[in-house]
Structure 1
Amino acid sequence: MKQCFWIFLTLVGLELYGQQITFDTQKTFQTMHSFGASDCWSMAMIGKYYPESKKKQIAEWLFSQDSDPQGNPKGIGLSMWRFNIGAGSTEQGKSSKITNEWRRSESFLNSEGYDWEKQKGQQYFLAAAKQYQVPYTLGFLNSSPIQMTKNGLAIGSGRLGEWNFDSTKIDAWTNFITKVSQHFNFNYISPFNEPQWDWGPNKSGEASQEGTPITNSDIAWATKKLAEHFQRTNAKTRIVIPEAGQLNYLYDPKSNRPGQDGQIENFFQLESPNYVGNLSTVERVISGHSYFTTSPSSKLVSTRQELHKKAKAANIDFWQSEYCILGDNAGEITGNGVDLGMKTALYVAKVIHSDLNDGNASSWSWWLAVSANDYKDGLIYTFNGTHKGENDHNKFDADLYDSKTLWALGNYARFVRPGMKRIEASIQQPDCLITGFTDQKSIVLVLINSGNAFELHLGSKQEMKTYTTSATQNLSYHSVQNNRLPIPASSIMTIIFDSKFGTAF
């Protein structure tokens, strides 16, 4: 079958100066689930205070699948929206020990019950996501509500692995998560976030955000309790764990986080005392964050290949659930300093490529959908003149800036839709990466060209649609109806055509 297919492919002529782009629709890998981003933390301010026109522009950029009259996408069509369920540090103000009010969060729970008017800024964008028919929503907790923590705060003690939670409140905890999940009809709930980090106070007694560490045994115990409650209440929401702070914690049982690593085997190996793979409300997914494992390229690839081996052996999917550029990345790129251009976009695209191809991720999510920081952590940025940062200058209104990273993510999110399968694909061109997908009707190829411009020569005329992100283009649409396809330098291009090699899809 493959030999005949390749002969047909050669006749169609996806050739590059005599070298082929090759792909095989019969050789498939993971089924794609979603591409997403989170509403931390700026959406609380933007959704509450910003002018309606700017809120609508942000929602369109993130969620829209519409195009302008010229065929250019208006947005990147995210298929997952992640909602931060707050713990109540906003109501505590400065006594929360979290110095930056942007990093505090309201809670739906109070002494009298539930107040669904809280987190209104975030609710605005959750409603917008649903209005744009984003297929999946996920609620995640950085901390349990302050009424249920040991120290009455939304931050940890600073001691490695110590979960800031009063275990006598487990029934209240499961009820809270169930109530919130049902109220907002979340498809998924992620009860723990980056359990390997301490999230405690610094020497001055202050902290940067809500959060708490937690051990594997505590995660398993709480997950079992939550799953039981979901079953009793017929909750439709699915539980996703454990949002590991680094991908190696998912597969390596001998890292620097004893009791918090080797999480694939801990949660999905039958012999493990922490096994939760038999719980009907737990999604057979292991989730983690791509931070600190992306440079150099050898580490990027090997980390994800090791992860895939363990996940495949456990018969579970992998979701890359949070990423932005942190640290110095072996000198390749630094997290400090906003970059709206292609350098960051190309680096992020390379990470996506490896997460999908080497790690077989079926879902991929970015961290901050909107950022006010002078940092490489946003898809969209909001600055008031020269003022950058999470401060009053940008709290009530500011200018909006779309980044090339936004549109680079769109090269995947907008066209690789839930249910598509990744297919085998390769290209013989220096500094160029390729990933292929199909839904049996169309073929989608995403090319990342970090090098010079080149031209793809088609052996015969082939109608295609292309969408290009480059220094001068944001998912710009072109219809290709001849046998030449130019690939710009430093660009990301999505190519779409009919799976039967007829007209473009």
Structure 2
Amino acid sequence: MKNKNLYNVLAILLLLVLSIAACSNSNDDLSDGGGTSSDYLTITLKPSTVYQTIHSFGASDAWSTQFVGKNWPLAKRNQIADYLFSSETDDNGQPKGIGLSTWRFNIGGGSDVQGSDSGISDEWRRAESFLTSSGYNWDAQEGQRWFLQAAKERGVNEFTAFSNSPPIVLTKNGKAHSSGGSSANLDAANYNSYADFLANVIENIRDNEGITFNYISPFNEPQWDWTGGQEGTPWLNSEIAAITKILDSKIESKNLNTKIEIAESAQLNYLYEDSNKSGRGSHIQEFFDASSSNYVGDLNNIAHKICGHSYYTTSGNTTLINTRQGVKDQIQQTDSSLEFWMSEYCLLENNSQVEGNGRDLGIDPALYLGKVIHTDLTVANASSWQWWIAVSPYDYKDGLVYIDENKFDGEVYDSKLLWALGNYSYFIKEGYQRINLNRSDNKSIEQSIDGLLVSAYKKPDDSKYVVVLVNQRTIDIPINVKIDGKSNYSGKLYQTSAESTDNLSPKESIDNSTVWSIPARSIVTVVVE
């Protein structure tokens, strides 16, 4: 009997231990840093420690706007433009759009006139050109010019013109894609003509459209061979440097207020290493190290920044973080004043967290996007962040706004990808600075990368603070936000979640004492004024 009683006591004790352990584990999940059920995560902003200055958030007009901007009903064009560019709110304080602050205009190579002979089977990926075999046609690219004006009318004040291929009248093979090899589809004899063409486009858009391109980007993803499927050409670093120097003189002679942006590296690691693309990588050192034979950093009209694309460097957290740390470290080593701009990205990857194929208007790809943006901004110190195609007709995770694949009319669909980008772009404006913060759980980027991500920004005069929180977890997380030097403040929450009505939607007001919960699988922006 005694043994039986002893066993009962031991059994009860074991159950108590297991219950306590289970409660402890459960409570660990209630915040990103553990604790008891009454605990919350405190985020303390440190405004005196400043990192990079933010210039812009944006997207490009490739390729759909050539049809949508020209042919679609005006009301639907305006709805798309509002989604992308509007900084207005409705009567309930709901943002009408995501307030993009920069817009990329694709200077086409002219593959559209070649039809199926272009080597580009998808007609949506063929592009018009201002330069034809008969000379300049400034009436071309009408649909894209409509969106330029729509962006300007809604407050966008930064514009970049980018070229994927020189015009077909200048290329080696008469196509807007390469026939193979690692060098450009452009003879050296036509370098001057290509620079003339780019300068003439800048000048014409300024004079006829009233829009100044702040930047001209003559080269796109030079590491890829671009043998068909869309407009493009490879470029050797030596070719990029030679044309950049010629274009610099053209801009100077025309007195254009435009800077040259280089070099749109296809992957971020190509910014600091050649990898498998000899002579086409290491862009930071090649173009901004004064000892390099391809140095262009001293040109009068070169933008003091290096541009790269986040593609194929987000799969696996070690790759995601280390690649961006590599960009930051190489800039510090070569020229610490050089800015990094992430100038193109969409969800191309296929991995355990996301698959590029298949249109998905929901929250899952939006959270993946939030993680990429966060890491680009907080590890690589990106000063600008730009999406690829703003308007997509495709069954792919490449759009912000989606449309039916129809050149003349169809339905318009917003997406959680759109609104997730808006959690950054609507609130963080030109001149804002990223600032330091402390987490009460003391988690590093490596420890929090699949959990709760937090970044903070301020207006230079300290009159406004923006905190963006990306909760990738399946639980709500209680939060309190403090600001060093401010004993009291008032703020507002804006939320994007899986709920159909939660699209950058205004939520509760808070102050420094408020403990509020960020919902599971959501992105919340805190705005303090």
Do they superpose with TM above 0.5?
A: yes
SS at structure 2 position matched to 1:37: strand
| Aligned equivalents of 1:380, 1:481: Cα separation in 2 | 31
Q: Distance in 2 between matches of 1:481 and 1:466?
A: 8
Cα drift, residue 163 of structure 1: 0.5
Per the alignment, residue 238 of structure 2 pairs with 217
With normalisation by structure 1, the TM-score equals 0.90
- The alignment partner of 1:139 has SS state of strand
Corresponding residue of 2:302: 282
Aligned partner (choices 421, 430, 453) of residue 476 of structure 2: 453
Distance 1:112 1:99 in 2: 25
The answer to whether the 8 A contact 1:17-1:456 is kept is no
Shift of 1:488: 1.1
What are the residue-to-residue correspondences of 1:7-18 with 2, within 5 Å? 17=39
Q: 1:434-471 CA distances to partner (integer Å, 9 max, x unpaired)? A: 01000121111000011211222468975211111111
From 20, 23, 35, give the equivalent of 2:45: 23
Distance 1:114 1:75 in 2: 36
1:401 aligns with 2:413: yes
**Length-normalised TM-score, structure 2:** 0.86
Alpha-carbon distance between aligned partners in 2 of 1:94 and 1:227, rounded to the nearest angstrom: 36
Letter in 1 for 2:517: P
Is it true that 1:478 corresponds to 2:490 in the alignment? no
- Higher gyration radius (CA): 2
**d(CA) in 2 for partners of 1:457, 1:197:** 46
| SS in structure 1 of the partner of residue 400 of structure 2 | strand
SS of residue paired to 2:420: helix
- Gapped runs of 5+ residues in structure 2? 1-37, 206-211, 442-447
Task: Please list, as runs of the form range in 1=range in 2, the aligned pairs for 1:56-135 lying within 5 A after superposition.
Answer: 56-135=78-157
- RMSD value, Cα: 1.5
1:17-416 to structure 2, matched below 5 A, reads 17=39, 19-159=41-181, 161-184=182-205, 185-200=212-227, 207-253=228-274, 255-313=275-333, 314-315=335-336, 316-329=338-351, 331-383=352-404, 390=405, 394-416=406-428
Question: Is the CA contact (8 Å cut-off) linking 2:345 and 2:386 kept in structure 1?
Answer: yes
SS of aligned partner of 1:474: coil
- Count matched residues: 465
Residue 241 (structure 1) shift: 0.3
Deviation for aligned residue 1:332: 2.0
Q: For residue 466 of structure 1, what is the aligned residue in structure 2?
A: 493
Counterpart secondary structure, 1:147: coil
Range with bigger deviation, 104-113 or 395-404: 104-113
Letter in 1 for 2:241: A
- What amino acid maps onto 2:313 in structure 1? T
User: What is the rounded CA distance, in whole Å, between the counterparts of 1:411 and 1:109 in structure 2?
Assistant: 39
Partner of 2:208: none
| Structure 1 residue identity aligned to 2:423 | N
Structure 1 gap segments, 5+ residues each: 1-15, 201-206, 384-389, 498-504
**More divergent stretch after superposition (430-439 vs 209-218):** 430-439
Residue by residue over 1:31-60, the C-alpha shift from the partner in whole angstroms, topping out at 9 and shown as x without a partner, is 001101011111111112111111000000
Q: Distance in 1 between matches of 2:438 and 2:316?
A: 22
SS in 2 for 1:99: coil
Aligned-residue offset at 1:327: 2.9
Shift of 1:75: 0.5
Distance in 1, Cα, partners of 2:152 & 2:349? 34
In 1: Cα distance, 2:192 partner to 2:477 partner: 61
Give CA-to-partner distance per residue, 1:267-316, whole Å, 9 cap, x none: 00000000000001000111010000001111100000011111122231
**Structure 1 pair 152/213, CA: closer, same or farther in 2 (3 Å)?**
same
Q: Percent identity?
A: 48
Structure with the larger strand share: 1
Q: Quote the Cα distance in structure 2 between the aligned partners of 1:299 and 1:457.
A: 31
Whichever residue aligns with residue 215 of structure 2, its letter is Y
